[in-house]
Amino acid sequence: MIDPVTSFDELYESFSWDIPTYYNMGVDVCDRWADKDPQRLALIDIDLHNERTDYTFSDLKALSNQCANALSKRGVGSQGDFPDRVGILLPQCVETVVSHIALFKLGAISIPLFTLFGPDALRHRLKDSAAKVVITHADSLEKVLSLRGELPDLERIICIDSSSDDVECFQGMCQAEATSFNVTNTLADHPALLIYTSGTTGNPKGALHAHRVLLGHLPGVELSHDFLPYANDRFWTPADWAWIGGLLDVLMPSLHHGVPVVAYRFPKFDALQAIQLMRTLAVKNVFLPPTVLKMMKSLPETAFIGLELRSIGSGGETLGAELLEWGRRVFNLTINEFYGQTECNMIISSCARLEAATPGCMGRAVPGHTVKIINAESANVLPSGEEGAIAVLTPDPVMFLQYWNNPSATDEKYIDGDAGRWLLTGDRGIMESDGKIRFVGRDDDVITSSGYRIGPAEIESCLVSHDAVQLAGAVGKPNAVRGFVVVAYVTLNAGFTASTELANELIEWVKMRLAAHEYPREVSFIIDMPMTTTGKIIRADLRARALNETLEKLT
């Protein structure tokens, strides 16, 4: 744990890692608490019928031990060059938690899988990882069964709410086993998780993480939630546990700290129901992605009365001044931004307990992580005020081990310089004179227009500050004179209608608030914004759309 201090600088200078040689994530988040405080509440599981079941740490220990014994009898283990891989295709529920913990105790590798994946997405991940087992539920079962003939390494399908000759029942499998288990004594560097990137460009790559990845997350999680844990803290996120944001920014750190987690994910997200859920269950801490915050912002402010949140963290896309100010009004606290990626997460964070947020800045390098803006060709650290590549110095406990089955992509992720070896995030940023880091955009998202390099994030934040705009994506459109011009694609809030007048109003809105070279020359209204399953705008799709529009005009 980090200790509350008076300044970021003091905290950064006083921090040091304590990573043991041997460490098992399953023991840390479950057995450690079960042995010390067995009746401590660990999980509040709300099913689709709104039935609530509470689980203590003692319950999780017994259930995960049974699951580990059952999987071990079915040949899942840590033998060979790499441990066996098991896909977990489940929503937020107790079986998801139990499965992950059981696999960690076994020394095997869990693969979090999103329940809304289609067959192609599942096929790629299961085939690429050579998953031996899939644990799923009835809603996803047919998808898995339809792929079975294409997955030669898949030996067994286990379902939590269905069974047949080809599918084994999870509950029956576990209930037949003992509640004690001899945990594999794993090294901190032993592989534990294989999390696939969201795939904004090309096929998703599998980022292989070690058990130590949880320890690497802790300082950033604690900072972004104003020094988690406090007495009576209780965590929830609408982000699926299949993503690093749900699994390692919320679920595992909460259990590490003995903070109860609410398990519930709406079949289709509903902002008003999410607020009601947080109010009813006395949630104190939430991770709300920017897309969720923007959806909530369209509600009347009276809808938030009665919430008693202590902390809100948000990451994935930068927040603007308007969204931060709205958050202060309706939640009566400052939303803390944080930054990371599947390969190296929770490395930058803001913390309202230590200092005021700066709109457009993600925060500072989290204690324990060396994050700089470098020249991506020379690997030299750039001075404050200069745009460059956001990079993290190795070694770092939160950093991935490698891309699964992709050594060339792993090598391309790093660059050597005088200061050491850097991991390149693929994002662009600017280090401010006070040490805060301003996000500019992905390497391929930066727009070059008339010699200016323009990041889309600031434009998008400005657009969503307008009452009419729910989501906005800014990209470059080919132009014979300027090279590219900025264009914006916008989805509107309820009650607003697309029109030429509104498009011109939005152009002026940005023009009056940002630099003259940054405003969009065109605004187009679209119904469905292309988004990754983690809630990030897929600007590559918008760029393709802009290019097609240009080509159509030429023909």
Tokens at residue 439, please? Answer: 């996000």
Domain ranges of the chain: 22-211, 444-554
The Cβ of residue 303 has, within 10 Å, a number of other Cβ atoms equal to: 15
> Half-sphere exposure of 426 toward its Cβ, with a 13 Å CA cutoff?
15
Please tell me the distance from the alpha carbon of residue 476 to that of residue 486, in angstroms, as a whole number: 5
pTM, rounded to two decimals: 0.85
- ∠ CA 14-18-21, nearest 5°, is 160
Tokens at residue 550, please? Answer: 């240009």
**Homologous superfamily assigned to 22-211:** ANL, N-terminal domain (3.40.50.12780)
End-to-end Cα distance, the chain: 62
* Closest among 257, 253, 299, 294 to 276, alpha carbons compared: 299
**Homologous superfamily assigned to 444-554:** ANL, C-terminal domain (3.30.300.30)
Q: Using DSSP, state whether 252 is helix, strand or coil.
A: helix
Q: Which residues pair with 210 in a beta bridge?
A: 191
pLDDT digits (tens), the chain, 555 positions: 677 777 889 999 999 999 999 999 999 999 999 999 999 999 999 998 889 999 999 999 999 999 999 999 999 998 777 899 999 999 999 999 999 999 999 999 999 999 988 888 899 899 999 999 999 999 999 999 999 999 999 999 999 998 888 999 999 999 999 999 999 999 999 999 999 986 545 578 999 999 999 999 999 999 999 999 999 999 999 999 999 999 999 999 999 999 999 999 888 889 999 999 999 999 999 999 888 898 899 899 999 999 999 999 998 777 888 899 999 999 999 999 999 999 999 999 999 999 999 998 999 999 999 999 999 999 999 999 999 999 999 999 999 999 999 999 999 999 999 999 999 998 899 999 999 999 887 777 778 776 666 778 778 888 998 999 999 999 999 887 777 899 999 999 999 999 999 999 999 998 888 767 788 999 999 999 998 766 778 888 999 999 899 888 877
* Closest among 447, 446, 453, 528 to 491, alpha carbons compared: 528
* Closest among 88, 137, 496, 90 to 263, alpha carbons compared: 90
